Homo-oligomer: A and B are copies of this chain.
Amino acid sequence: MELNEQNLYQRQTGLKEFGEAGQKKLSQAKIVIVGCGGLGNPVASYLAASGIGTMHLIDFDKVEVSNLHRQVFFKTEDIGKPKAFVLAQHLRMINPFLKVFPKTMALTKENALKTLEIFDLIVDCTDSLPTKYLLNDAAILLNKPLIYGSLYKFDGYVATFNLKTPNGYSTNLRDFFPEIPKTQVPNCAEVGTLNPIVGIIGLMQANEVIKVISNLGDPLVNLLLVYNSLNNQQLKIKGKAKVNRDTILELWDQNTYEDARCEVQLKDWLITSQEMKEKKGQFHVISVIEDPEFELPFNVNETIPFKQFNSEKIDLNPSKKYVFVCRKGINSYAATSQLKVKYPNLMIFSLEKGIENF
């Protein structure tokens, strides 16, 4: 059987509910997938295989070892390469008719509207709360549907936001969660997940994209679907569209959409992995990781789980040099900066970018 579009999609076009008409709608669609990790992997792959015409992939990050357990389209040989490019490469090999454009970049308030305005539909596969609000608000300002997905451990959420309906635009993220939480729960220590819920949520997003574009079935409109993979409990929470475009315009002006946890860190208070390896043994190392079973790649002198960390109760020895460490270098920096208030002249450092990048 020849490799052509007709043969490639025959198991879809043969469906009377979908047919050649549905296939044509997919082929004419131009969508953007923001985030090429656990959600972006299956969303992009299944949508590419289904015959979406044009797909842009956006991710600022590179493939890491610890991604592979849930980002199953990445191979060990891809470690260190930009996620968007690696994913695009796979998509080209499964569907040569796809027009795919990978972009290694971070979406910000400054570039979001310009970047997103050319698409019919936006898929949120990011793993950052401020970016999720940035995408939500940008989608509303641009009058575009947003296919939302997110998860925590064993639970996932999915919805089709801001779809134009006869009754106006449908609900958006702020109808369920009005404000960007200031303190993310939980913060630094990424809690992890088992991979099936990541795939389930991603596939449900792909399903929404196909439903919306081919005008088939009932998309998750004015609904937030909640799935618990531990007991297969599903809720579909009905919402009311209240937060409208005018409100979002005001919020857009007020918000920076930056991750409060990723504030600029002072270089003087940081130590690189390189430097720490070179000067091994010269530091008193304190871990502020919560998980007592987390195995560190080096010996530490002390462990103070960050929740119990209180600079008032800590006495440091002025003749020693201290290094605080955690997984991502965020809580360790917070500990360092608190102690710098108490001991401004002491040698106290935070391991830059954390143990994950050691």
Partner-B contacts on A (CB < 8 A): 1-3, 6-20, 42, 45-46, 48-51, 64-66, 68-70, 72-77, 79, 90, 93-96, 153-154, 189-197, 199-200, 202-204, 206-207, 210-211, 216-218, 220, 225, 229-232, 234, 236, 291, 293-295, 356-358
A70 vs B206: C-alpha distance when bound (angstroms) = 12
Contacts of A229 in B (CB 8 A): 207, 217
Contacts of A79 in B (CB 8 A): 3
Contacts of A195 in B (CB 8 A): 12, 46, 49-50, 206
B192 touches A203 (CB 8 A): no
Contacts of A64 in B (CB 8 A): 1
Known contacts A66-B1, A68-B95, A69-B51; A11/B196 CB under 8 A: no
Give the number of copies in the complex: 2
B74 touches A94 (CB 8 A): yes
Contacts of A207 in B (CB 8 A): 194, 196-197, 200, 229, 232
Output the least CB separation between A326 and chain B (Å).
13
B294 touches A65 (CB 8 A): no
B210 touches A232 (CB 8 A): no
Known contacts A42-B199, A236-B232; A192/B14 CB under 8 A: yes
A294 touches B14 (CB 8 A): yes
Contacts of A204 in B (CB 8 A): 196, 200, 232
Nearest residue (CB) in B for A229 is: B207
A195 vs B293: C-alpha distance when bound (angstroms) = 40
Nearest residue (CB) in B for A22 is: B194
B11 touches A190 (CB 8 A): yes
A231 touches B217 (CB 8 A): yes
A7 touches B76 (CB 8 A): no
A193 vs B216: C-alpha distance when bound (angstroms) = 13
A76 touches B93 (CB 8 A): yes
B217 touches A230 (CB 8 A): yes
A-B CB contact pairs (8 Å), 29 listed: A1-B357, A3-B79, A7-B65, A8-B66, A9-B69, A12-B192, A12-B193, A12-B194, A12-B195, A15-B153, A15-B191, A15-B193, A19-B293, A20-B293, A46-B72, A46-B195, A49-B72, A50-B69, A50-B195, A51-B69, A74-B94, A75-B93, A76-B95, A197-B207, A200-B203, A207-B229, A217-B229, A217-B231, A218-B230
Among B1, B236, B358, contact of A1 (Cβ-Cβ < 8 Å): B358
Output the least CB separation between A98 and chain B (Å).
11
B225 touches A196 (CB 8 A): no
Contacts of A190 in B (CB 8 A): 11, 14
A137 vs B317: C-alpha distance when bound (angstroms) = 70
Most buried by B among A7, A94, A232: A232
A96 touches B69 (CB 8 A): no
Among B18, B46, B69, contact of A12 (Cβ-Cβ < 8 Å): B69
Top 6 A-B pairs, shortest CB-CB distance: A217-B230, A196-B207, A11-B192, A199-B203, A75-B93, A218-B231
